[in-house]
Amino acid sequence: MRFTHATPEATYGFAKRFAHYKDFYTKYDGLIFSKLGFGTFKKEPYKEENYTFDYKDALKTAIRGGINVIDTAINYRYQQSEREIGEVLKELIHSGEIKREELIICSKGGFIPLDFPFPENPYEWINEHIIQKGLATSMDIELDQHCMTPAFLKASLDRSLANLQVECLDVYFLHNPETQLTRIGYKQFLIDLEAIFTAFEKSVSEGKIKSYGIAVWNAFIYDENNSEYINLEDVYDVARKVGGANHHFKYIQIPFNLAKTHAYSVANQKMSDGNYYTLLQVAYKLGIGVMSSSSLLQMHLFKKPFKPEIRYLLDSKMELQSDIQLALQFVRSTRGIVTSLFSTSSSEHVSSNLSIASVNATNTTKYNLLYKVER
Buried b (16+ CB within 10 A) or exposed e, 3-16: eebbbeebbeebbe
Q: Are residues 166 and 89 in contact, defined by beta-carbon separation less than 8 angstroms?
A: yes
**Which residue type sits at 104?**
I
- Give pLDDT, residue 46: 63
DSSP letter (8 states) at residue 362: P
Spatial contact of 254 and 221, defined as CB atoms under 8 Å apart:
yes
d(C-alpha 99, C-alpha 118), whole Å: 34
8-372, superfamily in CATH?
NADP-dependent oxidoreductase domain (3.20.20.100)
Contact 308, 355 (CB under 8 A): no
From start to end of 211-297, where are the E strands?
212-215, 249-255, 269-270, 276-277, 289-293
Q: At 339, give phi and psi (nearest 5°).
A: -150, 150
Q: What are phi and psi of 54, to 5 degrees?
A: -145, 165
Report the amino acid identity of residue 96.
Answer: G
pLDDT at position 135 = 98
Amino acid residing at 91: E
Residues sharing a CB contact under 8 Å with residue 213, sequence separation 6 or more, in sequence order: 171, 172, 173, 174, 249, 250, 251, 252, 253, 288, 289
Per-residue pLDDT of the chain (375 residues; tens, 9 = 90+): 556 999 999 999 999 999 999 999 999 999 999 999 999 998 766 666 666 678 999 999 999 999 999 999 999 999 999 999 999 999 999 999 999 999 999 999 999 999 988 888 999 999 999 999 999 999 999 999 999 999 999 999 999 999 999 999 999 999 999 999 999 999 999 999 999 999 999 999 999 999 999 999 999 999 999 999 999 999 999 999 999 999 999 999 999 999 999 999 999 999 999 999 999 999 999 999 999 999 999 888 898 999 999 999 999 889 999 999 999 999 999 999 999 999 999 999 999 999 999 999 999 999 999 999 876
Contacts of 276 (CB under 8 A, 6+ apart): 267, 268, 269, 270
CA distance 310 to 367: 9
Q: State phi, psi for 345 to the nearest 5 degrees.
A: -100, 5
pLDDT of residue 3: 67
As a whole number of angstroms, the distance between CA 375 and CA 371 comes to 9
Q: How far apart are CA 217 and CA 178, in angstroms?
A: 8
* Model pTM score: 0.96
With helix as H, strand as E and coil as C, how does 112-180 read? CCCCCCCCCCHHHHHHHHHHCCCCCCHHHCECCCECCCHHHHHHHHHHHHHHHCCCCECEEEEECHHHH
Instruction: Give the residues across from 71 on adjacent strands.
Output: 39, 106
Q: Where are the domains of the chain?
A: 8-372
Q: Distance from first CA to last CA of the chain, Å, rounded?
A: 52
3-state secondary structure of 371: helix
